[in-house]
Amino acid sequence: MDMQNITNIVYLVAAVLFILDLKMLAHPRTAVRGNQLGALAMGLAIVATLASGKWDWTYIILGIGIGSLIGAVAATRVKMTSMPELVGLFNGFGGGASVLVAGSALIATFNAVGAGATAGDMQMKVATVLSGLIGSVTFFGSYVAFGKLAEFLCVKWKLYTWQKIIKYGTSLVVAAGGIWYGLSLGFSPLSIVFMVSMLMIAAMLLLKKDRFPGMNLLKSLSAAAAVAIGVMLVLDPSNTALFWVLVGVAGVLGVVLTLSIGGADMPVVIALLNSYSGLAAAATGFVINNTVLIIAGSLVGASGLILTKIMCKAMNRSLANVLFGTMGPTADTPDADEVYKTVKSASADEVAMTLEVAQRVAIVPGYGMAVSQAQHAVREVANFLEDKGIEVEYAIHPVAGRMPGHMNVLLAEADVPYEKLKEMEEVNATMDQVDVAIVLGANDVVNPVARTDPSSPIAGMPIIDVDKARTVVVIKRSLSPGFAGIPNPLFAADNTLMFFSDGKKAMLELLTALKEQ
């Protein structure tokens, strides 16, 4: 058997292990082993590749060394609350790698044969275009998602030094790179398109808000331009400059698609970018005729698409609406002062007294729990209640937090057994038997307006029906609106007590109050 066949068989084994990995991720008991199988598969694929030919090892060893070091440090240092940023960032690296591999393959093929060469088949050309396009959208889109989650893009307030370095450094590199490479191309329509694209990316990354006029027009324009340049590249692949113009224009698309997205839409976009990073890898597989890239890439593409669909469904919105629509109060939105006339504020002691007599308590966490890092304090309160024989469960909305499953990870970090993390439908079915529902830093996902007011921007969105519990305790810093920008009548309901405080501080105060009683 020749070497090529052995390599391909190892690739097949790796592909099977990747499938098993994802399959075993379906249960907490098998998931750890599954993840190890995935890592093993990756190792096998790398070893098989490196064993299949003769190489100049310098860049291989150096690249793996540097990448492993950065990856390992990032993975072991990151706080669980920052997981969305990290996943966003890793997505971007995956997309960026696909762009570079496709570009590198293009240059290697066509520069070698000389300008005007016609070598290379249709498959390679089309795949290179797709890989450059999807990869660039993923790379720039993920950077924006990362920057928004790490709160240094699209914000008005003062930044920390590290945030400034990343923010201004990135814009500077993009702008300088755009001008340098654009000038090297000479004065032509293409070089102008390239320079304008790169300067636009640099400028958009400096904006202090996440919307600007003509945004949707720019989305359509950059998408159309990217497709047009892609077609030109397929027709004339020896003109490798076209590849970079494609990357620049697709980068504009990536930035503008992600820029306006925030809050509850973030999980959708993180899932979508995850899918793109897989699709880019699959496209790269077509560029270099490699089956394991195609299989692994499409598995990830499918996984991201399913998550995207689940997230959209949890908000009762279409993907197009998330990407192109706007979320915010409408003319029919009632005035907040009017809605909040009957708000009752409560202290930790009052809340503790309510909890004392409860038999069943449901905790509904939202992004506020992540921001205040309250998960451990929540767990302590729950422990205390459980010791008194009170049943405690956690009701988790699919889009609570900033990425799919965000709340679950935080609560798992605080040692909450996963059996206690209940899905929305399951909790809603018995919500009328819940004595106290504690809403911790969540807003839109518990807004009953979604059920009652068809003209509301969140109309029809499935919510956790905490208003049906006997008593609702809402822990929130203020009455400020959530992502949808609308008032929440739950806060003023007869059975609601507002406990105005930071999530973690509130939980600790509550614990003290409970212990004193």
- Smallest distance from the beta carbon of 295 to another protein, in angstroms? 5
Report the site for another protein in 438-497 (rule: CB under 8 A): none
- Contact between 245 and 194 under an 8 Å Cβ cutoff? The reply is yes
474: Cα within 13 Å, side-chain hemisphere: 27
**What is the crossing angle of helices 241-259 and 83-113, to 10°?**
160
- Smallest distance from the beta carbon of 383 to another protein, in angstroms? 14
CB nearer to another protein: give 343 or 409: 409
CB nearer to another protein: give 65 or 460: 65
CB nearer to another protein: give 293 or 449: 293
Report the site for another protein in 347-376 (rule: CB under 8 A): none
CB nearer to another protein: give 349 or 413: 413
Question: Nearest CA to 42 among 307, 301, 300, 302?
Answer: 300
Distance, CA of 89 to CA of 146 (rounded, Å): 6
| Contact map string, positions 243 to 282, toward another protein, x by CB under 8 A | ---------------------------xx--x--xx-xxx
Question: Nearest CA to 124 among 137, 114, 110, 138?
Answer: 110
In the sheet where 496-500 sits, what is the strand order?
Answer: 421-423, 391-396, 360-365, 436-440, 471-476, 496-500
Report the site for another protein in 275-304 (rule: CB under 8 A): 277-278, 280-282, 284-304
Question: Nearest CA to 416 among 371, 369, 379?
Answer: 379
- Contact between 273 and 322 under an 8 Å Cβ cutoff? The reply is no
| Contact map string, positions 113 to 152, toward another protein, x by CB under 8 A | ----------x-----------------------------
Longest Cα–Cα distance of the chain, Å, equals: 84
Report the site for another protein in 199-218 (rule: CB under 8 A): none
- Smallest distance from the beta carbon of 407 to another protein, in angstroms? 9
- Contact between 246 and 129 under an 8 Å Cβ cutoff? The reply is yes
Distance, CA of 225 to CA of 238 (rounded, Å): 20
Catalytic residue at 444?
yes
The residues facing 423 across adjacent strands are 396
Report the site for another protein in 383-442 (rule: CB under 8 A): 396, 398, 403-406, 408-409, 412-413, 415, 417-418, 421, 423
CB nearer to another protein: give 332 or 415: 415
Report the site for another protein in 297-336 (rule: CB under 8 A): 297-307, 310
Phi and psi dihedrals of 386, rounded to 5?
-65, -35
CB nearer to another protein: give 15 or 339: 15
Asked if 19 touches another protein (CB under 8 A), the answer is: yes
Report the site for another protein in 175-194 (rule: CB under 8 A): none
- Contact between 256 and 223 under an 8 Å Cβ cutoff? The reply is no
The residues facing 279 across adjacent strands are none
CB nearer to another protein: give 134 or 508: 134
Stretch that binds another protein, among 58-66, 332-340, 346-354, 507-515 (CB under 8 A): 58-66
Residue from the set 3, 4, 9, 68 that interacts with another protein by CB under 8 A: 68
Identify the three-state secondary structure at position 204.
helix
Distance, CA of 111 to CA of 130 (rounded, Å): 20
- Smallest distance from the beta carbon of 93 to another protein, in angstroms? 4
Residue from the set 42, 179, 371, 492 that interacts with another protein by CB under 8 A: 42
Q: Among all residues, which ones are annotated catalytic?
A: 444
